[in-house]
Structure 1
Amino acid sequence: MMDTRRGSRRRLLGGALTVAGLGALGGVTYRALTGGPTMEEAVDALIADAAPPGVGLTLIATSNGKTLYAKGFGESDPVGGVAATVETVYDIGSVTKQFTAAAIVRLWTLGELDPGDRLGRFFTGMGDKAEITVHQLLTHTSGLIDTLGPDDDPLSRSGLIDAMAASVPLAAPGVRYVYSNVGYSVLAAIVEELTSGSYERFLADAFFAPLGMSRTGYLLPDWDRRDVAVEHGPDGLPLGRPNERTWGANGPYWNLLGNGGVLSTATDMAAWSRALDGDAVLSAPARNRLFEPWVAEDASESSHYGYGWVMLDVGDVEVAWHNGGNGASYAEFARVSGGPSVFWATNEVARSGRWNLEESDLAMRVLGLLLDP
């Protein structure tokens, strides 16, 4: 059985970017008004540079509420002959974390919790984990281990909480940044404790339904099966659809739920990015919580973690970024508040010894193109 664990996210381009350097990363610029390539042609060139021909991939770029670029490449299901489009449903991996963080800050605005609340408020039998705060879970400073096992282990919510409480911490709470998928699953469990419902239902009612994001979630969307991308391993062989391969009858198990595995489309993610620039689903104080650079990810302080987002200072521009993958699918999301955003996803991230799209930094390259045309 394939272990789809994501592991800690990779450092982004060494953290030494400027806006000018960002725009030139792919060796492509556009000058539509001076006879150079159009923006669409320039993005096409970046994708062609990053991805081998025929690879299934979808990318959308937006700015100021407008869609600037939206295309699918290759096939979401080569065997079935299904082309990738902006409505193809992909596993967005750890990009899920920013939805979990948004749910927590929404509950904060509703007065249901405070980021300083400790785990002992929500769960009994926490032992030395009782003093971990919600803020520490959000910023990966809880000291919790990364994972408790493979995504497809049939772990229940109570099993997650018990295993987390019994786990050996990697650091004392609040001492240092230690990326933890477990921590974000615990946050999803807190959402369920406070709402007496499912994590996915809260996301749908609070965010997805109001924004028309009808193709985002775990079980609630009514997808056509053919729209869900078939994932491929490093040998190029099909592994099946994520919701059929690693989930149970009631959706993903708790090694995955809340920290990864949400399925979505490029158009839905663009709608979400637009919503993050306004007050439609989150107030300004809540959005500020998401994008505050709370904690340095390492001693170089080249990047910080907010609530579900990696925060990068690129020249004088603050960029929010996150990636996610399971070894077969991969997604990246990068955005500038009030400015451009880029989301892309693929169902075939790498071929052993030949290429790896996770190393392409495609979202930041396209974002740089839009920031420095």
Structure 2
Amino acid sequence: MSKNRYRHHKTNRHKKYYLLASFTLLLFGGAIIFYFHEAHKTTETAAADETRQSTDLITAIEPRDQVSSTIEQTLVEKNFSGTALVFKNGKIILNKAYGWQNQSKKIKNSISTQYCIGSVQKGQTAYLIMQAIKAGKLSFDQKLSDFYPEIPNSTQISIKDMLNMSSGLRINEKKIEALNTTDTQKILAETVRLATFASNTSYSYQPVNYVLLAGVLEQLYQTSYQKLYQKYIIDALNLKETSFYSTKSSQQALSYNQSLAGLVYAPASTSSYADELGTGNIFMSAEDLYHYYQSFFDETHITANERTELWSPYAGETYASGIYNQKNKYYGHGIKARFETFVNFSKDGKNGVILLSNVWTQKNGYGSLSDQLYKKVVAQ
């Protein structure tokens, strides 16, 4: 072999060794990076799981003092079915479920069970309106005519009038129900077409106000109410047990009538929930509802002044933005398809009772029970 050929052969051999060594180093380095990346992911996942487990352990709260023990005794005596969450001095002292989520399948209600909150959702639509106002997209004084000029007297109806249900708006809800559709755009269009105006603009509980407010939000953001709710409430407040009505959900409770023979399943149609655009087709756990209301007091998403303005009723009235602003407390009530929600909490947000039920038991529901339990909380 000539000297030049030898050198060429030697050089090629060195190149092969170099390439092999480089490739080996790359593989080794990649393996190390992958290992530490996966180890980090595993650590993060484990930490997240530990946090969730810890949270579950914290939220499943049995009676620990005289107040919570007395409250649970009352709930059992009343044959309450649902979830009760009680908080005192800023701490949850009871979070417990009773009765059946699905009687035929023998699934009991749990603290994760979601119940339709009915008209309590109106307050959440109002919360979305407040977020639009904060973003400079809307004002309390803005007129309905800016969005739906075809509605009678819309030039005189403000956003605040609608929030306080003092707009004079009326509608024949049976005609909306007769549509028998889940298409919210058709429901909204028919609502606009059928809306009328009554000369008496003092407070009158008319859900049409909130259906139209949902439509206003859709126009402002050019997206669906459902997507807005997901972004600004579920995601922003980190709610884990909140959803729109779905026949496929394993967490949403079934609703029942209480009869002499026992519980009787009382289903509602999908279209009847769709009719409740912005007004009553959300399902929540008691803890998610608690955290939603607490967000009004931690000033992360809404300031104290904004809360005061949003929940401020007109003179001589108590209703504003889904809340009854009473002398010494705030009160909320929702009912839909035999589900019933009651919320009572103090003006500082530190004491309260949340009852979510999936059984209709009497003409007046659990209203008196909710008031009775709240008095027990604030009395001691």
TM tier relative to shorter chain: 0.7 to 0.9
| CA radius of gyration, larger in | 2
Conservation of the 8 A alpha-carbon contact between 1:115 and 1:134: yes
Residue in structure 2 matched with residue 337 of structure 1 by the alignment: 347
SS in 2 for 1:272: helix
**What secondary structure, in the 3-state scheme, does the structure 1 residue paired with 2:270 have?**
coil
1:310 corresponds to which of 324, 329, 343: 324
What is the CA–CA distance in structure 2 between the aligned matches of 1:80 and 1:99, rounded to whole Å? Answer: 32
Paired positions, count: 310
> Which digits, 9 at most, give the CA deviation of each residue in 1:280-306, with x for residues without a partner?
221223211232233434xxxxxx112
Instruction: Tell me whether 1:368 sits opposite 2:379 in the alignment.
Output: no
CA distance in 2, matches of 1:204, 1:113: 20
Aligned to 1:288: 308
* Distance of aligned partners of 1:186 and 1:295 in 2 relative to their CA distance in 1, 3 Å threshold: farther
Q: Which residue of 1 aligns with 2:103?
A: 78
Coordinate RMSD, CA, aligned? 2.5
- The 3-state SS of whatever aligns with 2:243 is coil
- Residue 62 (structure 2) pairs with residue 48 (structure 1): no
- Structure number with greater CO (CA < 8 Å, separation at least 6) is 1
Asked whether the equivalents of residues 333 and 363 of structure 1 are also in contact (C-alpha less than 8 Å), the reply is yes
Unaligned residue ranges in structure 1 (runs of 5+)? 1-31, 298-303
Question: For residue 360 of structure 2, what is the aligned residue in structure 1?
Answer: 349
Moved more, 70-79 or 319-328: 319-328
Deviation at 1:159, TM superposition (A): 4.4
Aligned to 1:230: 254
Superposition TM-score, scaled by structure 1 size: 0.76
Paired residues of 1:61 and 1:270 also in contact (CA < 8 A): no
- The more displaced of 119-128 and 163-172 is 163-172
Partners in 2 of 1:321 and 1:212 — Cα distance? 24
1:126-149 CA deviation, whole Å, 9 max, x = no partner?
343343211111001111126522
Equivalent residue number for residue 328 of structure 1: 338
In structure 2, what is the Cα distance between the partners aligned to 1:94 and 1:139?
14
- Aligned 8 A contact 2:100 2:106 in 1: yes
Contact kept, 8 Å, 1:185 with 1:256, in 2: the verdict is yes
TM-score by length of 2: 0.74
Give the corresponding residue for 1:266.
286
Query: In percent, how many aligned pairs have the same letter?
Result: 18
Distance 1:370 1:323 in 2: 19
Runs of 5+ unmatched residues, structure 2: 1-63
User: Once structures 1 and 2 are overlaid, which stretch shifts more, 144-153 or 363-372?
Assistant: 144-153
1:246 is aligned, of 253, 259, 269, to 269
For residue 273 of structure 1, report the CA deviation from its aligned partner: 2.1
Residue in structure 1 matched with residue 118 of structure 2 by the alignment: 93
SS in 1 for 2:291: helix
- 1:87-111: per-residue Cα shift (whole Å, max 9, x none)? 1110010011110111111111111
* Structure richer in helix, relative to its length: 2
